[in-house]
Amino acid sequence: MKMEINKDIERILFTEKELSTIADNIAGQINTDYKGKELLVVGVLKGSVIFLADIFRRLSLDCRLDFITASSYGSGYESSGRIIIKKDIDTDIKGKHLLLCEDILDTGNTLFYLRQNLIDRGAESVRICALLDKPSRRQKPVTPDYYGAQVPDEFVVGYGLDYDERYRNLPYIGILKPEIYM
């Protein structure tokens, strides 16, 4: 079945099958790195939810799940640089190993802020897992510990990534036509 919103996509970057392989590879690395440790996986809502679900189901660790909502975008396509936490995690993180799971590492503003915030609150370690990495737009010194692929400086949507809360439900990742967001 072809989705109506497919018409807004310039081209597909990653198919469903490729995304499944990415999730397998990342989860395998996480399972190896955290073997024998308890892990708290923290999903950055809303964009990470689909990727996170795929990763989390593949983990064979003693792990817990929590969520945080933080944003620097609002309804636009350019980061404001000002981070707002809209929903905080519920779990006591003192002495715990955390894995921040995000859809895309773009400017780095949000993940830089969140990582430092969680360390300041007593986490033993905080690593970053991002489905996509867009290093060409980085404003803060952040690199993901785990990531699926680097992407060009184009507007990507699907598989949880959105533009103004649309396109998250696409089963692939594609480049949004510029006329949609300009």
Please say whether the beta carbons of 126 and 73 come within 8 A.
no
- Whether 106 is catalytic is yes
Strands 173-176 and 62-71: unpaired
Q: How far apart are CA 144 and CA 55, in angstroms?
A: 15
Identified catalytic residue from 8, 54, 103, 106: 106
**77 closest CA partner among 116, 134, 23, 130:** 134
Please say whether the beta carbons of 159 and 175 come within 8 A.
no
Active site residues: 106
